[in-house]
Amino acid sequence: MLKSFTNIFGLSLKKFKNRTKNMKKEIGALYLAYRRKEIPIYTKLIILLVVGYALSPIDLIPDFIPILGYVDDLIILPLGIALAVKLIPKNIMEECRAEAEKKYSNIKKKSYVFAVLIIAIWVALAMYIIFKIRALLS
């Protein structure tokens, strides 16, 4: 029984933690790639969506919904990261990975600045939509 808990869909818990850690590093590298001038605008838009979604405290599917709540964390986010990485030239992505490893390897705490910023954006967007709906109804 214990063995079934440590083996999630063929992945051991240790491998799962390593993949999660690698995803975090990829997000840091994507952010650095976003700041590069040689990256096309359409790639920057995809990177912005992926990194913003990764840092957002609000998920597409809320985590409290059984099983489906983690679909975005297990499927949607890795697919978005993979798409963004495919659009970035390999040499640039390798440079960004190396730079991210140097810059972000010693960061242990979560950055609440990003969480507050993204919540503020979501609240502003919700307020805008509410005001537009009220204007249409009156």
Tell me the per-residue pLDDT of 27-41, one tens digit each, with 9 for 90 and over. 999 999 999 999 999
The pLDDT tens digits of the residues spanning 42-64 come to: 999 999 999 988 887 777 677 77
For residue range 92-109, what is the model confidence (pLDDT) as tens digits? Answer: 999 999 999 888 776 555
CA distance 111 to 92: 26
pTM of the model: 0.62
Q: For CA atoms 61, 64, 65, 68, give the dihedral sign.
A: positive
